[in-house]
Amino acid sequence: MTSASPQLNPMALTIDQAARVLSTAGPKPVTPEMVRDDIDDGAPMNGDGTLNLVHYAAWLITEMSRAD
């Protein structure tokens, strides 16, 4: 019998999970340290310390548009 891997909840990812998802989905690797730096810079977090991937992505887009 094989055990199923736990499902990721995109509305409540740990920092490590968020880094892995973003690394897989994007053109460049994303480290947990990079995600922590974003949190330090104001990226939104859930009250339990997890990240909502949609909110985080929206924050990243906003930050990218400010850099232009």
**What pLDDT, on the 0 to 100 scale, is given for residue 67?**
72
Domain contains 7: no
pLDDT tens for residues 7-48?
A: 999 999 999 999 999 999 989 999 999 999 999 999 999 999
Domain that holds residue 48: 15-67
Domain contains 20: yes
Domain contains 31: yes
Considering the entire predicted model, what is its pTM?
A: 0.84
Q: What is the DSSP string of 8-44?
A: P-TTSB-HHHHHHHHHHHSSS---HHHHHHHHHTT--
Domain contains 1: no
Domain contains 40: yes
**What pLDDT, on the 0 to 100 scale, is given for residue 66?**
86
Number of domains in the chain: 1
**What pLDDT, on the 0 to 100 scale, is given for residue 5?**
58
Domain contains 3: no
